[in-house]
Amino acid sequence: MDVLVENREVFVSGFWVTFQICVLSATGALILGTLVAAMRISPVAPLRWVGTAYVTVFRNLPLTIVFFMTGAAFAELGAPNADLLKIPGLSSVFTRLGIELPYFRFAIVALGVYTAAFVAEAIRSGVNAVPAGQAEAARSLGLTFTQNLRYVVLPQAGKAAVVPLGSVIIAMIKNSALAGAFGVTGELFSNGSALTSAGGYPIVPVFIGISLGFLVMTVPLGLMLDRLEKRRAAGR
């Protein structure tokens, strides 16, 4: 256990980087995913096709390929450093966003774009959970498509989508470990594996340290969702 105490800086800073990746890509995924979900239920057929295609592609691609593709695509599309993500205000809070090496930004794009497909599905399942009578009633009151969504369907869908969305975010937090294997130095997993290989530290304590870092994020979120789900089930 001395390893943990001795290297607590490494674990804490790793946790912080992982946390930044998670917050940024979750935000991106939620925004993009909501857009995709809106496309999938829109009255304009081509928009629906685009939405469906997006979800089909990213739900069935392994995240590893998305990561590889992101790096290669940015390079070949003329933005090898993904500089457009060096958003001035944001990179002062999330310091990693503004650094020279592009891998942190690649990771956020890959993770966000991938997770957005699952976010879209979660939101759509929430919309599907709203009884049809609600939307019909709104239609018969003369609400337009956007009014219908905004005042009647989405507020109710939001409630039903919270639990699936939570599971998506938990999965995303776990997937963020992949960033460490794709060149994001200083991330929790890459920090830990560096300790065992280059540092020569024993494996078990390092494993415990990494695990704690992830479990601190995933387990409370999971328990919260379980409670929410039970309360919902009882309330129904």
Partner 1 sequence: MTTPVLYDTPGPIARRRTTIVSIVLGLLLLAAGYFFLYRPLAARGQLSPEKWGPLVDPANTNMPLVWDRLATGLLATLQAAALAILTSLLFGTALALLRMQLRALSHRRFGGLPWIVAFALRGLSAVLNALTRAAIEVGRGLPVLVTIFFAWRLSGITNPMWPLVIGLTIYNGIVIAEIIRSGMDGLPYGQREAADSIGLTPGQAVRLVLLPQAFRVMLPALISQLVVILKDTSLGFIITYEDTLAIAQQIIQVLDNPIQLYAVLGVIFIAVNYALSRLATFVQRRMSARAGGQVIKRPPATAAESGQLPLA
Residues that bind partner 1 (CB under 8 A): 41, 43-47, 50, 56-57, 59-65, 68-69, 71-73, 76-78, 127-132, 134-136, 139, 145, 148-149, 153, 170, 174-178, 181, 189, 193, 196, 203-204, 207, 210-211, 214-215, 218-219, 222
Residues belonging to the chain: 236
- Residue 147, CA distances (Å) to 63, 81, 129, 152, 155 in order: 36, 41, 18, 8, 12
> What are the backbone angles phi and psi of residue 190, rounded to the nearest 5°?
-70, -35
Q: What's the closest the beta carbon of residue 117 comes to partner 1, in angstroms?
A: 12
Measured from the CB atom, is 4 or 73 closer to partner 1? 73
Q: What's the closest the beta carbon of residue 91 comes to partner 1, in angstroms?
A: 24
Measured from the CB atom, is 62 or 155 closer to partner 1? 62
Measured from the CB atom, is 43 or 89 closer to partner 1? 43
Q: What's the closest the beta carbon of residue 75 comes to partner 1, in angstroms?
A: 8
Q: What's the closest the beta carbon of residue 206 comes to partner 1, in angstroms?
A: 9
Contacts 24+ apart (CB under 8 A), 120-123: 120/33, 120/34, 120/36, 120/37, 120/40, 120/51, 120/54, 120/55, 121/37, 121/55, 121/59, 121/164, 122/33, 122/161, 122/164, 122/165, 122/167, 122/168, 123/33, 123/34, 123/37, 123/157, 123/161, 123/165
Measured from the CB atom, is 35 or 69 closer to partner 1? 69
Measured from the CB atom, is 77 or 88 closer to partner 1? 77
